[in-house]
Amino acid sequence: MSERLQPGDVAPAFTLPDADGNEVSLSDHKGRKVIVYFYPAALTPGCTKQACDFTDNLQLLASAGYDVIGVSPDAPEKLAKFRDKESLRITLLADPEKTVTESYGAYGEKKNYGKTYLGVIRSTIIIDEEGKISHALYNVRATGHVAKLIKDLGI
């Protein structure tokens, strides 16, 4: 189980493949604010809703200086299928080893229907232009999360 990040922490650096297999690093976004969100699986109802909400609000978020990156344990091929099927315009990164997911505290014990298991905890981490965590939100809901985020960030 990994430690959850706190505001003020330095965001762990990462480089992961995107849906097309190209390497994307957090450092590529230096000088911009970045919303990194972790979700359990592409092509599932909740994750699709959340990804579509981010895509629908991408213009608004970008105009406020935010880049959006979604991270899941899916392979790049599955992410490409997800992106194409749902017309997603956000960056989707593959973390099959869950190393980045763990370093951001977004992997751990979950409960579902009375069973406890290890999995991706739906989380949203907001990183400022300096590479520090400004918000660390864990166990977020897929539905309505993006609207709440926009409100909380004052966008």
- Considering only CA atoms, which of 25, 115, 17, 145 is closest in space to residue 73? 17
Q: Are 104 and 9 in contact (CB under 8 A)?
A: no
Which residues touch 57 (CB under 8 Å, ≥6 apart)? 146, 147, 150
Quick one: CA dihedral 9, 65, 41, 20, positive or negative?
negative
Residue 50 burial by Cβ neighbours in a 10 Å radius (0-12, 13-18, 19+): buried
| 47 flagged as catalytic | yes
Write down the catalytic residue from 26, 36, 42, 47. 47
CA distance 104 to 142: 18
- Considering only CA atoms, which of 121, 155, 153, 151 is closest in space to residue 37? 121
Active-site positions read 47
